[in-house]
Amino acid sequence: MRSLLKGRSAWSDRIEVDIGDDAAVVVPAPERSLVMTCDTMVETVHFLRQTMSCRDIGWKLLTSNLSDIAAMGGTPTFALLSIAVPFSWQTEEIQEIYRGLYQCADENRVTLVGGDTVSTPGPLTLSLTLLGEVSPGNALRRSSAKPGDVVFVTGTVGDSAAGLYLLLHHPQLKEDFPTLVKAHTRPAAQVSIGKWLAESGFNPACDDISDGIAGEAWEIAEASGVKLVIEQEKLPLTAACKEVAKMAEMDPYEWAWFGGEDYQLIGTIRPDGWQQLRQAALEENILITAIGRVEAGEPCVEKETAGKRMSLQQKGYNHFADR
Amino acid sequence: MRSLLKGRSAWSDRIEVDIGDDAAVVVPAPERSLVMTCDTMVETVHFLRQTMSCRDIGWKLLTSNLSDIAAMGGTPTFALLSIAVPFSWQTEEIQEIYRGLYQCADENRVTLVGGDTVSTPGPLTLSLTLLGEVSPGNALRRSSAKPGDVVFVTGTVGDSAAGLYLLLHHPQLKEDFPTLVKAHTRPAAQVSIGKWLAESGFNPACDDISDGIAGEAWEIAEASGVKLVIEQEKLPLTAACKEVAKMAEMDPYEWAWFGGEDYQLIGTIRPDGWQQLRQAALEENILITAIGRVEAGEPCVEKETAGKRMSLQQKGYNHFADR
């Protein structure tokens, strides 16, 4: 265990008892609420050795949790990592996972303060709990969407699924599409936009895109009791994503709707808020795109394409497993 | 997932965003530090279907984390559960695990506020993160033992290992030894004694007995830079534990030293603190026993038996696995 702490940085001066005792103790920031989330990754279900290096695994595990904190508008702070290690994995490989985790933690000023390491006869299983902070009452909820809101998305979508397609089916081409591969193996969470939204005063709805835009839009629609109408042609797809889709004879929009793991934010905000948000994103050099609108009605998501509307199915697909 | 929340109670009025959004949000108690720990249980490594019912699994997972919070002197508050479920487990069985968890949570006023549910081709793997609170500066550390301190232990030790022995080798006898079986399947953490120790002003050292007294005493000795001398005859063993050991032709003290999972507390406190602690435990009807003393010297643990001292090995054994 101790060897796994090499390379770890402590980013907080509020740690009272650090990793190594029965539990860690920290002093919460005054006048801040505590945000907490937990995400698990299982080898063969969430990643394959052929698609992800050890460092990628550690990096992406933290990103998936950062993305949940971002979707609440929080600032990430402390992490605990539980890892169940199969006999077939070498200590050096596990150290590499921690190195990837520490790289991502350092970029986001997150400190690993605890966890558990056990053995397993099954696949490598990693579970990370991430804490964060947000001003009381400011956390972004899925339930805040209101008719008249603009639906927006950060960054581009579909790249992660395109990258995974390449890694699974055309690994020899991965150097031709480095941004797609990176979108899948080294995604970044949209923490700064999330913080802006939380402090904006507009009470936007927000969700992170871990399972594809379709599923996340449905979650907002159901939690808010509204209809989301999304114009497919406005979805921000990269040229690289479209190129790989063409090569694969697949529809790149399917990747955007259902591919997932983009770790962008989708949200809704009233029109004057949208103007301010677009300006703030421009100043921080972050791409943000209006993709639709919120209407009153039975909770659902409609896709608008070439002027026609159709209801959009809720579920994405699972790349590796049947369950 | 929603069906798994049936039977859950919310014990806090400080929950800002409850389970069901991207992350939970709570308001920390003012003037309190935050304690956090994480424990993982893997089927076949930490339990077997033949020894633990589904409810037992949920109960014990929370207890193992409560015990870590108790060893810091904290008051438990919020939990997040990550569970990787094999295809062979039925939904009803998973619901039973949650019911056992909720029973233990209700007894300790803990609220489940989040988690993750994924599938796995491997064994059932459960990882729980538990938060708690403690007054700033009062958390109990392993490093606080000083020469002259009394070494104490709460409750009795060895019962969990004796119970496991029965369940593995003589399941037909389990109704004859209900306290031993319960010690293994439904252990209770010593939260109230932990809190007393933290608020006592004596700055005691403390550790919980998850891996046997030997290993925990070694952790205190090494963290504090002292020698712990423990008198074997003073270890609090039950008559039932001794009876099963006799039947099994095993040494009950081996179970106490190395068996683990007793979830009692071992600690050290200066002699006047010990008098007060004994009185406080008496008033709460909690058994507490002085089992040795702290001496200056190279960090180690010595076992004293029949007036003779010998150094005690550090490691316990693993009941199910080789690693």
CATH number, position A96 = 3.30.1330.10
Map residue A308 onto helix, strand or coil.
Answer: strand
Report the chain B residue with the minimal C-alpha distance to residue A210. B22
Residues of A in contact with B134 (CB under 8 A): 25
pLDDT value of position A6: 87
Interface test with chain B among A38, A206, A261, by most B beta carbons within 10 Å: A38
B-chain residue closest to A38, CA distance? B115
Tell me: do B205 and B117 sit in the same domain.
no
Q: pLDDT tens, A122-166?
A: 999 999 999 999 999 999 999 999 999 999 999 999 999 999 999
Q: Model confidence at A314, in pLDDT bands (50, 70, 90)?
A: confident
Mutate which: B2, B15, B18, B21, vs A, most A CBs within 10 A = B21
On whether residue A320 sits in a domain, the answer given is: no
On the question of pLDDT at B321 being above 70, the answer is: no
Q: Does B261 lie in the same domain as B125? A: no
Q: Are residues B89 and B198 in the same domain?
A: no
Residues A173, A90 share a domain: no
Residue A63 contacts B, CB cutoff 8 Å: no
Res A316: pLDDT: 55
Helix axes of A91-107 and A54-71: crossing angle, nearest 10 degrees: 40
Q: What is the DSSP secondary structure assignment for residue A215, as one 8-state letter?
A: H
CB B228 within 8 A of CB B268: yes
Kindly state whether residues A155 and A252 are assigned to the same domain: yes
On chain A, the residues whose CB falls within 8 A of the CB of B81 are 38
Q: Which residues of chain B make contact with A116, given a CB cutoff of 8 A? A: 38-40, 127
Instruction: Inform me whether the C-beta atom of residue A13 falls under 8 Å from chain B C-beta atoms.
Output: no
Q: Which domain holds residue A42?
A: 2-134
Beta strands, E only, A233-299: 265-269, 288-295
**Residues B148, B233 within the same domain:** yes
Judge whether A322 lies within some domain: no
Q: Which of B114, B134, B154 is the last residue of a domain?
A: B134
In a domain, B281, yes or no: yes
The verdict on a CB contact (< 8 Å) between B35 and A24 is yes
B124 and B224 share one domain: no
Beta strands in chain A (DSSP E): 15-17, 24-26, 33-42, 75-86, 111-120, 125-134, 150-154, 205-208, 227-231, 265-269, 288-295, 300-305, 308-311
Q: What pLDDT band is residue B316 in, cutting at 50, 70 and 90?
A: low
Q: Residue A62 in contact with residue A102, Cβ under 8 Å?
A: no
Give the tens place of pLDDT for each residue, A49-78: 999 999 999 999 999 999 999 999 999 999
Looking at residue B75, its pLDDT comes to 98
pLDDT, tens digit (0-9, with 9 covering 90-100), for B53-73: 999 999 999 999 999 999 999
Answer yes or no: is A109 within a domain: yes
The shortest CB-CB distance from B23 to any of A46, A72, A78 is to A72
ipTM of this model?
A: 0.94
**Cα–Cα distance, A255 to B61 (Å, whole number):** 38
* Nearest C-alpha in A relative to B32: A27
CA-based nearest residue in chain B for residue A81: B38
| A212-267 pLDDT tens trace | 999 999 999 999 999 999 999 999 999 999 999 999 999 999 999 999 899 999 99
Give the model confidence (pLDDT) of A77-125 as tens digits: 999 999 999 999 999 999 999 999 999 999 999 999 999 999 999 999 9
Question: Is the CB of residue B118 less than 8 Å from the CB of residue A47?
Answer: no
Query: Does B322 have pLDDT greater than 50?
Result: no
Domain boundary among A106, A134, A162: A134
Is the residue at B152 inside a domain? yes
Q: Which residues on B lie below 8 Å from A32 (Cβ)?
A: 28
Asked whether residue A321 is assigned to any structural domain, the reply reads no
- Please check whether residue A81 touches B, CB under 8 A: yes
The string of DSSP letters for B179-238 reads: HHHHHHHS----HHHHHHHHHSSS--EEEE-SS-HHHHHHHHHHHHT-EEEEEGGGS---
Question: Are the Cβ atoms of A42 and B122 closer than 8 angstroms?
Answer: yes
The whole-angstrom separation of Cα A119 and Cα A88 is 10
B157 lies in the same domain as B129: no
DSSP B110-163: -EEEEEEEEEESSS-EEEEEEEEEE-TT---BGGG--TTPEEEEES-SSHHHHH
Using the Cβ of B28 and the Cβ atoms of chain A, whether some distance falls under 8 Å is answered with yes
Tell me the two tokens of residue A255.
């990747």
Indicate whether A168 and A295 sit together in one domain.
yes
Give A131's contacts in chain B (Cβ within 8 Å).
Answer: 36
**Which residues are CB-contacts of A160 (< 8 A; sequence separation ≥ 6)?**
A180, A183, A184, A187, A259, A260, A261, A262, A263
Shared domain check, B167 and B203: yes
CA separation, residue A42 to residues A211, A255, A320 (Å): 16, 22, 11
Last residue of a domain, one of A115, A134, A153: A134
Residues for chain A: how many in total? 323
* Polymer length of chain B: 323
Q: What is the CATH number of the domain that holds A192?
A: 3.90.650.10
Burial (CB count within 10 angstroms: exposed 0-12, middle 13-18, buried 19+), residue B274: buried
At B33, the pLDDT band (50, 70, 90 cuts) reads very high
- Quick check: is A243 in a domain? yes
Domains in chain B, number: 2
User: Is residue B316 domain-resident?
Assistant: no
Among A23, A38, A69, whose Cβ lies nearest the Cβ of B115? A38
Write the DSSP assignment of A11-67 as a string of letters: --S-EEE-BTBSSEEEPPPTT-EEEEEEEEEEBTTTB-TTT--HHHHHHHHHHHHHH
The answer to whether the beta carbons of residues A96 and A58 sit under 8 Å apart is yes
Query: How many CB atoms are closer than 10 A to CB A266?
Result: 26
B positions 158-217 inside 8 Å of A (CB): 206-208
Do residues A128 and A153 both lie within one domain? Answer: no
Is the same domain home to A129 and A171?
no
Question: What pLDDT was estimated at residue A96?
Answer: 97
Give Cα B291 distance to the centre of its chain: 19
Name the average pLDDT for chain B.
Answer: 95
